[in-house]
Amino acid sequence: MTTDAFIRLDGVRKFYRSRGQEFLAVSDVSLEIEEGELVSLVGPSGCGKTTVLKILAGLHPHDGGTVTIGGGSTPFDATRDIGMVFQQSLLLKWRRIIDNVLLPAEILGLPMRPARDRARDLLAMVGLAGFEESYPYELSGGMQQRAAIARSLVHDPKLILMDEPFGALDALTREKMNLELLRIWSESRKTIIFVTHGIQEAVFLASTCAVLTAGPARMADHFEIDLPYPRTLSMKTSEKFGEYTRRIYALLGME
């Protein structure tokens, strides 16, 4: 193990207790993530990928193993260095888009004037320039997710956790958003952990892909995706891409 990894998960396990019974939500998750990586966690529902995300976000304690974020060259502040994006945009419908993007800044008590400028820049970056004063209902599902991504970046966190952020979008919008995410990632240079059950999506986006299986919930494997950035949709038909997706299907016992 190298010592300078940004995030290190080592044998992480988590139990849930329900009606006096314990069951394993995740086990054996060991993973090292370098700063600036885009890591996808892929697996079927019930494999514990969301649980891993919540452990990283500090929302759930874990029952075994170690989780270390930051250290050495990159300090990590668990309060303000996490941005989150969910399947639903969770925009507050009584707030204008710009004020939605500002929510984390308000909660953290950041100076509002510079935060507002930053929110404007971020909205421009995610392609929502001109929609600052709109209300969420005036935006399409894909645009709402763009706003949610801008919101996750407004307090300039080092780590962005995304839980199936494009899972509720139609297939075409989803592909478009994948390309958008890659662009935003390359512009913002954040570390992104991206949970999905879309195998194509997982391979297409990630620099590293971790595969989790259900019943029992455990991490089956993780490997680098050796495809060059910037990625293009034509890569999806390449031989290498096919090898990666077949590998994941095999790990999930679907081949």
Partner 1 sequence: MEKFANWLRRYSLAIFIHVLVIALWQFWVVLGDVPSYVAPTPVDTAMAIFSNYDWTRNTLVTAAEIFGGYFLAVIFGVGLALIFSWSRILSSTFMPLIVSANMIPKVALGPIIIVWFSYGLWPNIMIAFSICFLPILLTTERGLSEVEPDLLDLVRSLKGSRWQIFTKIQLPGSLPYIFSGMKVAVVLAVAGAIVGEFIASEEGLGYLMLQVQVTLDTAASFLAVFLITLVGVALYAIVLILERLFVVGDRRLEGSY
Which positions touch partner 1 (CB under 8 A)?
A: 54, 57-59, 78-80, 82, 84, 86-88, 90, 92-96, 103-104, 106-108, 135-137, 155, 161, 163
Looking up tokens 């139609």 gives 170
Radius of gyration over alpha carbons of the chain, in Å? 18
CB of 156 to partner 1, least distance (A): 13
| Closer residue to partner 1 (CB): 15 or 135 | 135
| Closer residue to partner 1 (CB): 57 or 67 | 57
Q: Give the three-class secondary structure for 41.
A: strand
Tell me the pairing of strands 191-196 and 38-42.
parallel
CB of 242 to partner 1, least distance (A): 34
CB of 46 to partner 1, least distance (A): 18
| Closer residue to partner 1 (CB): 108 or 129 | 108
| Closer residue to partner 1 (CB): 83 or 142 | 83
CB of 142 to partner 1, least distance (A): 18
| Closer residue to partner 1 (CB): 59 or 250 | 59
- Please give the full DSSP string across 78-144, using - where no structure is assigned: TTTSEEEE-SS----TTS-HHHHHTHHHHHHT--HHHHHHHHHHHHHHTT-TT-TT--GGGS-HHHH
**Separation CA 119–CA 99 (nearest Å):** 9
**Separation CA 99–CA 95 (nearest Å):** 6
| Closer residue to partner 1 (CB): 123 or 182 | 123
Q: CA nearest 52: which of 84, 27, 86, 83? A: 27
CB of 3 to partner 1, least distance (A): 27
**Separation CA 194–CA 46 (nearest Å):** 16
Strand partners, 218: 213
CB of 116 to partner 1, least distance (A): 16
